[in-house]
Structure 1
Amino acid sequence: MTLKPKDMNKEEFIKLGYQFVDWIADYLDNIEDYDVLPNIEPGDIKKEIPPNPPKGNDNFNNILKDVDEKIAKNLTHWNHPGFMAYFSSTSSGPGILAEFLSAAFNVNGMVWKSAPASVELEERMIEWLREFLNISNDFTGIIYDTASVSTMHAIAAARESINLEIRNKGMSGRNDLPLLKIYITDQTHSSIEKAALTLGLGLQSITKVKTNSNFSMNTAELEKEVKTDLAKGNIPLCVVATIGTTSSTAIDPVNEIAEFCNKNNIWLHVDSAYAGVISSIDEYKNIFEGWNKADSIVVNPHKWLFVPIDLSSLFIKKPEILKRAFSLIPEYLKTEVDEIAVNYMDYGIQLGRRFRSLKLWFIFRYYGTEGLREILKHHLQLAKKFEQWIDEHKYFEKMAEVNFGTICFRARIKNVDDENKLELLNKKLMDEVNHTGKIFITHTKLNGKFVLRLVLSGIRTEEKHLELAENILDEQLNKLIKGQALDG
């Protein structure tokens, strides 16, 4: 047994670094050799990992061998061009290299003095991203890890903005605190309800406003709900409008909602974690009309701007309210430049902060804004192509408008109208498609109906992969029809 009390020396690091980069490059180049979704059961991988850590060092070649045999083959491969599930988050080469460099720097951007370049690059990257997204200059921003955390901070700022002394007095044991209300829809991301739990507002604070036939928030119903709450003595705290909901990518009428919120002094948070990057494309700008009237906006570059997970951006008009909600400065973190520098620890619950902005910097510089737009336009074109294929297909029907790169559809067989049978058919179809290992799709429910979702936003996804998906859907559905005589 050999002990290694010190870090790698330069020569060893260079040798292994080359080997490691070669492995990553080969992985990305040959990623289609893997099944997108592994054919394993929970617990299978853990059985392959020893229950106790090694007492001595192991050879790096053995570690990479285990990466091959125990990790890579048992992953769901999000970078695979056939990954068409959830909101596919793919990492690009420059983003991966930036992540590599960030780990080498290993800085903690809690205050300016602890990581000056990290703090100021983040400030500038927020400005670059704001310009790219056509967000107005009266917003500033901050980088968090995920949209769930960004949104939680936005709602915390909304809570602080109503001046009920919650920072000092809290919310428990108070008789003077009315019920604070948050307005969403049944299509809104679940992170808003989790934020209500985290912030002590509770699920009773959530009102789900009725939607229109296209799954967007009904503004008239929102006005009714707010009026009802005011009559009860409740305080309308926040409306969360979405541009690109998770299930169907529905678009709430943000402009109308913003006018109502501004008139009634209600915080408006816009969740565009998935679709926000599309605001960079001229032909889609009208969809985002009104979001500059909001108080806060969340956009996730790691969802559709090819940034390795994680990187979420929160844009906010009044960062001083966010700072008021969270800033606590222990003596050991006070510095002589606090009055003139940005200390990001003041704008959230976390003290330690990774150097995430480095990834955004690399990607903007490697592709340029026009290069990024071209990739996004290609994905939108693929989505329109698949939408046309669904519309023309004998056995498939579209279940929601195709606003971005996500298509909601289902198999619908002649003379089969029973929803239970249709749900069973589509579940089986999804499972059979995923079992091929070539593509991976997921589902949702819209109006109580089981719906398939296919997402086209992977940086490695090309037209040939979409055609493969179409062929697999056709092949597997035809097998099910023949096997169960569902064609009537």
Structure 2
Amino acid sequence: MPSSPSGGPLLFTPEQHTRALTLVGEFSQQYLATVADRPVYPPVDRAALRAIAHEPLPRSGMPLETLFAELEAVVVPNSTHSAHPRFLPYVQPSPNALSPYADHVAAVLNQNCNLWHLSPAANAVEQALLRWFADLFRLPGSAGGIVTSGGSMANLVALTAARDHALGSAARAEGLQGGGAPLVLYTSEEAHSSIDKAVSILGLGTNNLRKLPTDERFRLRLDALAAAVVADRAAGRRPFCVVASAGTVTTGAIDPLAELSGFCREQGLWLHVDGAYGALAALSERFSESMAGVGLADSVSLDPHKFLFCAFEAGCVLVRDRQHLVNAFSAQPSYLTMSEDPDFVDFANQGPQLSRAFKALKVWWSLKHFGADAFAATIERMHDLALHMGTEIERRPAFELLAPVVFNCVCFRVRGLDDAGNRRVLTSLVDGGDAFLGPALVKGRSGLRACFMNLRTERADVDFILDRLQELAGE
């Protein structure tokens, strides 16, 4: 290995920096140029991965070239290739071209985005990003928020604020130990599982989470919600929050946000919109009307690593009144210097983390480099691909749709096969490496699900997948 600089063995010489950047650049270019030729889901070399899992701690280092050789020989061939044009199982996009490089820059700068003194420029970037999102949904000037790891953490932060708002001034000191009527939260049977996790983590108890039925369009039924709230109050419980979905994880349904907002205002309930999947589709005029109600919520979760196509991780939570985050999360330990400044925000007081990376950079750069219109056009292209698949499914007798195509996902099944048969066909498709779709359970029926969030997918890929599924079903 080249000699170390004066700072010690953990720093690079200029020559090592140049070599590392060359290797990273060559790897990135070669991988993305060949990803479509690889099996989407690889045959796993279990012996090679066991060797990695059980490798002893190395006491001496090895050259960069050796590390990259192992990457090419073992890591890449045993990775699921989410950038492949036929990787369509979950709400997991291929990243835009810039965001991996932004992550590199963020790691080099290594800002800790908790106190503004530790990250002044990053603080301004995050503020700008939050303002852009708040303006997109027409939230008031009192709105605030924080960049998170993803939608699950955003939902947890929002529901923490909702819980503490319901408990009042004693929330921090007493918590749920203060007694009183049990708090009850409402959502639809189509809601994301992160809501269940948040309810459990917050000590509310999943027995106090009401999963309500949906209508024929898989949207939360307002009549069922109203009846549940009346029943819980009559039983001595305390309804406090409704979680609506701006894009349910299975069918992409958008709950009736405006109607739910009116109901919550009348009933004194906190409205949280889980917009991690779809709310950022508001960038597109095609979806702006259906997402217009997002801004009526008390809190909103977003996922820039979905419809802004940023590399993992990048989430966000917004609240109508930023003071709710401060009430839930502020702390003033003696070992941290927090001096208020009108130009900056101590994000440590608005979320659960102290150590927090500069995730906002890749989102900020992506919007600045590509522009919002480019993302709007891409969102619409994803929808067009879903519509094409839906049309093809309806045209082919071998398939049937399980739900209307309203967003960028398609739920369907193979006719003539029972639930177990549909699951077997899906397993064969994935294990064969031809394509990666996900399972769907829609109103008790098992099927397959394609979610279009891959920048490389074309109509030909859709046709290939359906052709292959017909072959597998015939077999």
| Bin for the TM-score computed over the shorter chain | over 0.9
SS across alignment from 2:289 = helix
Q: How does 1:64-143 map to 2 (within 5 A)?
A: 64-131=68-135, 133-138=136-141, 139-143=143-147
Cα offset for 1:340?
5.7
Cα offset for 1:194?
0.7
Cα offset for 1:305?
1.3
**Bigger shift: residues 244-253 or 133-142:** 133-142
Cα offset for 1:127?
1.9
* 1:387-445 deviation digits (Å, cap 9, x = unpaired): 100111111000011111100000112xxxxxxx5112211211121123121001021
Corresponding position of 2:192: 189
Q: Whole-Å Cα distance in 2 between the matches of residues 468 and 44 of structure 1?
A: 32
Say if 2:259 is the partner of 1:263: no
Q: Is the 8 A contact 2:251 2:410 kept in 1?
A: yes
* 1:299-325 deviation digits (Å, cap 9, x = unpaired): 111012110111111111011011111
Q: For this pair of structures, how many residues does the alignment match?
A: 469
Aligned partner of 1:79: which letter? Answer: A
Cα offset for 1:74?
0.6
Q: Is the 8 A contact 1:258 1:291 kept in 2?
A: no
Q: How does 1:197-212 map to 2 (within 5 A)?
A: 197-212=200-215
Say if 2:434 is the partner of 1:430: no
Could you tell me the percent identity over the aligned residues? Answer: 27
Q: Is the 8 A contact 1:147 1:298 kept in 2?
A: yes
Q: Whole-Å Cα distance in 2 between the matches of residues 143 and 48 of structure 1?
A: 33
Q: Whole-Å Cα distance in 2 between the matches of residues 351 and 218 of structure 1?
A: 39
Cα offset for 1:477?
2.3
Say if 2:284 is the partner of 1:288: no
Q: 367, 370, 374: which is aligned to 1:364?
A: 367
Corresponding position of 2:172: 167
**Bigger shift: residues 199-208 or 385-394:** 199-208
SS across alignment from 1:363 = helix
Q: 369, 372, 380: which is aligned to 2:383?
A: 380
Q: Is the 8 A contact 1:250 1:401 kept in 2?
A: no
Q: Whole-Å Cα distance in 2 between the matches of residues 43 and 403 of structure 1?
A: 44
Corresponding position of 2:29: 25
Cα offset for 1:460?
1.8
Q: Whole-Å Cα distance in 2 between the matches of residues 454 and 7 of structure 1?
A: 45
Corresponding position of 2:335: 332
- Over 3 Å counting, the alpha-carbon distance change for 1:2 and 1:362 in structure 2 is closer
Q: Is the 8 A contact 2:401 2:411 kept in 1?
A: yes
Say if 2:439 is the partner of 1:443: yes
Say if 2:308 is the partner of 1:308: no
Q: Is the 8 A contact 2:283 2:373 kept in 1?
A: no
Corresponding position of 2:156: 152
Cα offset for 1:166?
2.1
Q: Is the 8 A contact 2:96 2:309 kept in 1?
A: yes
* 1:246-282 deviation digits (Å, cap 9, x = unpaired): 1111221111111100111100000121111211111
Aligned partner of 1:189: which letter? Answer: H
Say if 2:472 is the partner of 1:469: no
Q: Whole-Å Cα distance in 1 between the matches of residues 46 and 276 of structure 2?
A: 30
Q: Whole-Å Cα distance in 2 between the matches of residues 290 and 107 of structure 1?
A: 35
**Bigger shift: residues 59-68 or 133-142:** 133-142
Cα offset for 1:214?
2.3
SS across alignment from 1:30 = helix
TM-score normalised by length of structure 2? 0.94
- Over 3 Å counting, the alpha-carbon distance change for 1:320 and 1:82 in structure 2 is same
Cα offset for 1:353?
1.0
Aligned partner of 2:126: which letter? Answer: E
Q: Is the 8 A contact 1:89 1:303 kept in 2?
A: yes
Q: Whole-Å Cα distance in 2 between the matches of residues 220 and 43 of structure 1?
A: 55
Q: Whole-Å Cα distance in 2 between the matches of residues 213 and 188 of structure 1?
A: 16
Q: Is the 8 A contact 1:281 1:373 kept in 2?
A: yes
Q: Whole-Å Cα distance in 2 between the matches of residues 427 and 234 of structure 1?
A: 41
Q: Whole-Å Cα distance in 2 between the matches of residues 67 and 130 of structure 1?
A: 41
Cα offset for 1:356?
0.8
- Over 3 Å counting, the alpha-carbon distance change for 1:341 and 1:367 in structure 2 is closer
* 1:284-343 deviation digits (Å, cap 9, x = unpaired): 222123222110111111012110111111111011011111100112212444566300
Cα offset for 1:6?
3.5
Q: Whole-Å Cα distance in 2 between the matches of residues 247 and 130 of structure 1?
A: 26
Q: Is the 8 A contact 1:400 1:409 kept in 2?
A: yes
SS across alignment from 2:356 = coil
Aligned partner of 2:347: which letter? Answer: Y
Q: Whole-Å Cα distance in 2 between the matches of residues 280 and 194 of structure 1?
A: 29
Cα offset for 1:128?
2.4
Cα offset for 1:473?
2.0
Say if 2:410 is the partner of 1:402: no
